């Protein structure tokens, strides 16, 4: 949400600049847009398979969603403690079907209950986390490639416009409007890169570090349950993940 | 295929921009093209031997080909399991002449059957993979060098054109067309870099990681056959290569 | 203080340039400023949560404050020696309530006296230092993102202005003023990046290394007290932090 | 040779562009060239001692020479095998005075025969290789510095030209020619960097890796002779240097 | 010396360009210079404390001085051998007060004679070398910051000049001179960065590696004396510092 909020904010100010300057109409030219976006996508699918392009956008969307369970890292640990107390009394079977509100935790819980031993749980969780890292890195690569290509094709469009304009200077009246149109591709390329692709790439990177941090904590919780660790030892183990919490930066003394 | 598809797409949009603007004719100037491409190639063969240049393009072509056996990493493992079952019953000789549809697998199979021991198979396969990495890295270096040189020589061509134009401003009518021609080298340099050399360099890098991933998996399969491993242990060994599969990214939850 | 002194100095010279050139009035255009700052903030909160943006500025402010205890690294060691002599005679309880003038030292002292063992003191201090590093790195990332976005949106604003101007060249008299206004966003973006965001990012990085250096020294002092080390061994331990002092660079021989 | 071939090729196309455009005359201005080359050299000898500058060019020349013994890595091993067979039968003394056509081999052979033990041979060869690496890295640094400075001083020259031109716009006829001359320094700087210094820097880097590869192989050969290794073991030892040969990249399947 | 020689050379060619073009007068504008240098210094002391700025220049000056003892690394070893022979016969006390012409050696010698054991000598020397590295790195950071800020403030000054000029195009006669003045800040920024700050930063880096190399050699010599090593072993120990001498690069075969 925040990502799209930010991108929308940037666009609002860009459109505001256009309106204050005289109207948005002068900035809408489907042909110019087609050329920039077409060239950019072409160059990007020359680098990555097309399905990666789609996956990149999906990852960006996923990264931009407000995470509902954003503030409850210590709640997760509390939940784990409760589950742990129950399973140490009544066995793993007693928590079957329970949910915690966190998708990764619930999915891991189900797997953990069915798994033959702690080792296979550990491998399953580390594979899941590794897959998330792969997905995020590939998504970021795609966004980086788009962010590189967009201004380049904007510039190519402008040079094409300039050459066309200069080749036919018969009517000096037309120089201004022709230049204006030539500059549109540069504008589109710059906006696409700076207000969309670069923020998306950065957002995916930020999302990756926060999500991996949370999933590593959850993995420790699930392994503690599988191993019937004492709650106190479990709390010790996950402590660094709570202290160095991405969301609880130390108060800035003023 | 996809690479050439992407490059072609980029070119289609560039040519579209030209046509929509008034015609492709104004953009065709063999002399300007000769200068950009000649200078670029000159600067590149000053850095690398000419045969490396040719090899770079061959590697880019190889990297851009749709890989027919793209989705069958787990099929490769299934095939290996079958071969393994057979050789454990009937000896290595029983699978002589069999093919799997994967070139690297078949070549390795033939070598493996003739090889005196597992150690020489291992070295042979690791040499093959290392050679592929060398080839890819050198190809990428050549493409990077071309991508750096093309815009530079485009700019040099434009400055030359500007100087010539400014030295003879007798006929103001000629300024426009002269500027148009001067800008053509910039355009050629930008197009060559952004729609051809940069995508080729990136494609080679992507191809390298996917191919090395697959070949490392095949190497494990072949060594398992040579060592008559139990199929179950073989599956355990290759598992990380299947889980972290480049082609099976996790579903993006929506 | 110094950071704001430096930033103020830069602004004084920029305003001076405006005044000497004919007056500041021509450079004040709230609309242009709104567009640059709005787009920049939008792109940045698309990358980071808004609270990180605020935290980034707070960290920059913290980093820019003149540190009152800047020169007393060896004083801190002297103080530690005194405290150590006292506690070795009279027990840890004897220094309860004492203050040293250094906030981190005092906070650590209070924790250390209450802590059950040296190990928990060590973990507490290392968490505090790690949190400071996290805070500084995140603050720097935010400032870097702002410094990247500001010139980009300045450029976008200028291209918008150019397009508007060129679309309506009816009155040649208006070209100059319109161009002047178009250039304002470029100016704002360049000033924001070079005279504010880049120095803030660098300042945070410099503050991090100096503060971490000091806090690591204090951590060694506090652990020495907790462990009732002999003053001599404590001095040996902290020596590298005094010798390689950030504030006592060797005299430059001339 | 190839480097100079490439540089010459680049220059041919640049001069071609000039001739096709109207003549080389407009591009020759000794003053402009003096300013660019003088400023570039000045800035470079402010960074490195002047003798390093000369050594940088000597290294570039050395790197650009066609290496006569380019294809005979396996010949070198064959030669080593022959020498080895002889020395194992008749003693080291029997190969005194023999030459192999490779300078580094011959120099090493002479040293090896005179050396008291294998250890001193090893150190001598590793020093020789390290010196070559030092020389190449320093040469590359000098070329990099030249490649950075040349466009900068070209730009400075052009700004100087623009300022002079604008200060005296009395005769509008003179604007064109004055601009043309102002642009010459930009052109010189761009050509020097892109058609000379950058290729030279890259060439030195490529030469370093190929030469070090070869010399490391030769070092292994000489040590094998000194230690009277069996030819078979010698062949095993040097194998990785032959397989991963820089000159024998795998065939690109088509 | 050489650094200032190089910088002076660059300035001579820049001034030459001005004179050949019509006179230096058009390039002197104290206001423009004040704006560039003031903004640059302001931005830099927003990043570093002002005393670091002064130290940065002192370090650059130190780095640029011709080192009198530049060629005598092997002389230093010879001297060490003499001292060693004397102390092994007559004791450490016999060389008290002796000087070698190298400041670092003499300072270390005095410390070594007074030091209780080899360990404290080792720590003292390693602290000295570490301090030199700290000083050089900080000096380089300051120069890098100046080199980044100068062109940025030159550009800001030019944009300010352009805006002022365009706002008042009443007198077309004045466009040229106004543009000329606007460009002066760009020129000043480019010259300051390319002919002063960048070379100074590079010079400090080069000075650091040469001086650290020499001081490490001297440290080995002093420790050999403290430990009364046999001269032969001392020579063995320092050999890598002589062979890989920065000043004795291998002859370039031609």
Copy the structure tokens of residue B26: 């104004």
pLDDT, position D50: 84
> With an 8 Å Cβ cutoff, are A47 and B202 in contact?
yes
Question: What is the per-residue pLDDT across B176-197, written as a single tens digit (0 to 9) for each?
Answer: 777 888 899 999 999 999 999 9
> With an 8 Å Cβ cutoff, are E160 and C6 in contact?
no
CA distance B21 to E3: 54
ipTM of the complex: 0.83
| Residues of chain E neighbouring D42 (CB-CB closer than 8 A) | 6-13, 195
> With an 8 Å Cβ cutoff, are E34 and C16 in contact?
yes
> With an 8 Å Cβ cutoff, are A190 and C155 in contact?
yes
Name the phi and psi angles at C57, rounded to 5.
-70, -40
pLDDT, position A166: 81
Per-residue pLDDT for E247 more than 80?
no
| pLDDT confidence tier of residue A246, bands split at 50, 70 and 90 | very low
**What count of CB pairs under 8 Å joins A to B?**
156
Per-residue pLDDT for B69 more than 60?
no
Confirm or reject contact between D17 and chain E (CB < 8 A).
no
* Mean pLDDT of all residues belonging to chain C: 84
- Length of chain B as a residue count: 254
Nearest to B151 by CA among B203, B182, B180, B194: B194
Number of neighbours of residue D198 by Cβ within 10 angstroms: 24
| pLDDT confidence tier of residue B152, bands split at 50, 70 and 90 | very high
Per-residue pLDDT for A1 more than 80?
no
pLDDT, position C223: 92
| Residues of chain B neighbouring D198 (CB-CB closer than 8 A) | 43, 148
Nearest to B80 by CA among B254, B231, B203, B241: B231
Q: How far is CA C53 from CA B161, C42, C138, C140, D129, in A?
A: 48, 11, 9, 10, 52
Mean pLDDT of the A206-222 span: 89
Confirm or reject contact between C107 and chain A (CB < 8 A).
no
Dihedral over alpha carbons A176, A177, A180, A184 (to 10 degrees): -160
pLDDT, position C196: 93
| Residues of chain B neighbouring A46 (CB-CB closer than 8 A) | 2-7, 9-10, 64, 195, 199-200, 202-203
Q: Which of A144-148, D1-5, D245-249, E95-99 has the lowest mean pLDDT?
A: D245-249
Place of tokens 């995470």: A67
Across the interface, of C176, C249, C253, the residue whose CB is closest to E55 is C249
Per-residue pLDDT for E196 more than 90?
yes
pLDDT, position C235: 87
**Which of B32, B144, B163, B189 best tests the D interface by mutation, with the highest count of D CBs <10 A?**
B163
pLDDT, position C249: 38
Q: Which residues contact E134 (CB under 8 A, 6 or more apart)?
A: C244, C246, C249
Across the interface, of D39, D62, D103, the residue whose CB is closest to E10 is D39
Task: Name the pTM for this structure.
Answer: 0.86
Question: What is the per-residue pLDDT across D126-157, written as a single tens digit (0 to 9) for each?
Answer: 888 988 898 899 999 999 999 999 999 999 99
pLDDT, position A193: 95
Copy the structure tokens of residue C150: 């500001």
List strand residue ranges (DSSP E) for chain B, in order.
none
A253 DSSP assignment: -
The answer to whether residues C47 and C231 touch, using CB atoms and an 8 Å cutoff, is: no
pLDDT, position D70: 54
State which residue of chain E sits closest to C8, comparing Cα positions: E42
| Residues of chain B neighbouring A157 (CB-CB closer than 8 A) | 17
| pLDDT confidence tier of residue C25, bands split at 50, 70 and 90 | confident
Q: How far is D97 from chain B (nearest CA, A)?
A: 34
Question: What is the per-residue pLDDT across D32-45, written as a single tens digit (0 to 9) for each?
Answer: 899 999 999 999 98
CA distance B101 to B188: 42
CA distance B149 to D198: 10
| Residues of chain E neighbouring C12 (CB-CB closer than 8 A) | 38, 42
Dihedral sign computed on CA atoms, order A215, A220, A226, A230: negative
C143 CB-contact burial (10 Å; exposed 0-12 / middle 13-18 / buried 19+): buried
CA distance C95 to C112: 11
Question: What is the per-residue pLDDT across C43-95, written as a single tens digit (0 to 9) for each?
Answer: 998 888 888 899 999 999 888 876 655 557 888 888 899 999 998 888 888 88
CA distance C202 to C207: 9
Copy the structure tokens of residue B244: 């972290």
Question: What is the per-residue pLDDT across E218-230, written as a single tens digit (0 to 9) for each?
Answer: 999 999 999 888 8
**Which of D3, D6, D22 best tests the B interface by mutation, with the highest count of B CBs <10 A?**
D6
Q: Which residues contact E16 (CB under 8 A, 6 or more apart)?
A: D34, D35, D38
| Residues of chain B neighbouring D194 (CB-CB closer than 8 A) | 39, 43, 149, 152-153, 156
State which residue of chain E sits closest to C10, comparing Cα positions: E39
D47: enclosing H helix or E strand: helix D30-47
**In which region does residue B28 sit, left (phi positive, over 0), alpha (psi from -120 to 50) or beta (all else)?**
beta
Question: What is the per-residue pLDDT across D192-239, written as a single tens digit (0 to 9) for each?
Answer: 999 999 999 999 998 898 888 889 999 999 999 998 888 888 888 888
> With an 8 Å Cβ cutoff, are B5 and A134 in contact?
no
Q: Where are the domains positioned within chain A?
A: 26-72+119-243
pLDDT, position D237: 84
Across the interface, of C34, C39, C160, the residue whose CB is closest to A10 is C39
pLDDT, position E191: 94
Confirm or reject contact between B151 and chain D (CB < 8 A).
no
Q: Do chains E and D meet with 3 or more Cβ pairs nearer than 8 Å?
A: yes
Per-residue pLDDT for D11 more than 60?
yes
Question: What is the per-residue pLDDT across A113-159, written as a single tens digit (0 to 9) for each?
Answer: 888 888 888 888 988 898 889 889 999 999 999 999 999 999 999 99
Q: Which residues contact D80 (CB under 8 A, 6 or more apart)?
A: D221, D224, D225, D234, D238
Copy the structure tokens of residue D188: 């010189």
> With an 8 Å Cβ cutoff, are D163 and E176 in contact?
no
Q: Which residue has the higher pLDDT, C3 or C118?
A: C118
Mean pLDDT of the B80-92 span: 89
> With an 8 Å Cβ cutoff, are D43 and E5 in contact?
no
Confirm or reject contact between D6 and chain B (CB < 8 A).
yes
Per-residue pLDDT for B198 more than 90?
yes
Across the interface, of A9, A180, A203, the residue whose CB is closest to C41 is A9
CA distance E128 to C241: 14
Q: How many CA atoms within 13 Å lie on the side-chain side of C55?
A: 23
The answer to whether residues C95 and C113 touch, using CB atoms and an 8 Å cutoff, is: yes
Q: How far is C138 from chain E (nearest CA, A)?
A: 17
Question: What is the per-residue pLDDT across E113-161, written as a single tens digit (0 to 9) for each?
Answer: 888 888 888 888 988 898 889 889 999 999 999 999 999 999 999 999 8
Confirm or reject contact between E101 and chain D (CB < 8 A).
no
- In B162-201, the residues whose Cβ lies within 8 Å of chain A are 173, 175-177, 179-180, 183-184, 186-187, 190-191, 193-195, 198-200
The answer to whether residues C133 and C208 touch, using CB atoms and an 8 Å cutoff, is: yes
| Residues of chain E neighbouring D163 (CB-CB closer than 8 A) | 26-27, 180, 183-184, 187
pLDDT, position E68: 55
The answer to whether residues E105 and E218 touch, using CB atoms and an 8 Å cutoff, is: yes
Number of neighbours of residue D254 by Cβ within 10 angstroms: 7
Nearest to A207 by CA among A55, A36, A70: A70
């Amino acid at each position: 949400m925040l990502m799209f909020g930010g991108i929308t904010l940037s666009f609002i100010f860009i459109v505001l600049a256009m309106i204050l300057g005289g109207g948005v109409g002068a900035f809408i030219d489907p042909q110019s847009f087609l050329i920039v976006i077409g060239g950019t996508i072409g160059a990007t699918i020359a680098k990555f398979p097309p399905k990666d392009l789609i996956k990149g956008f999906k990852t960006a969307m996923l990264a931009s969603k407000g995470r509902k369970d954003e503030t409850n890292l210590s709640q997760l640990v509390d939940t784990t403690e409760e589950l742990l107390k129950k399973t140490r009394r009544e066995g793993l079977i007693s928590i079957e079907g329970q949910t915690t509100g966190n998708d990764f935790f619930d999915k891991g819980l189900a797997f953990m209950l069915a798994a033959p031993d702690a080792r296979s749980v550990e491998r399953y969780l580390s594979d899941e986390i590794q897959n998330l890292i792969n997905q995020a890195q590939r998504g970021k690569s795609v966004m980086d490639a788009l962010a590189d290509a967009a201004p380049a094709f904007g510039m190519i469009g402008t040079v094409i416009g300039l050459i066309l304009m200069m080749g036919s200077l018969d009517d000096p009246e037309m120089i201004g409007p022709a230049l204006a149109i030539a500059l549109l591709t540069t504008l589109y390329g710059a906006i696409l890169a700076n207000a969309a692709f670069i923020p998306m790439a950065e957002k995916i990177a930020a999302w990756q570090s926060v999500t991996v941090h949370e999933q590593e904590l959850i993995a420790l919780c699930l392994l503690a349950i599988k191993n019937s660790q004492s709650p106190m030892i479990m709390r010790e183990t996950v402590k660094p993940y709570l202290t160095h919490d991405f969301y609880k930066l130390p108060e800035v003394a003023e």
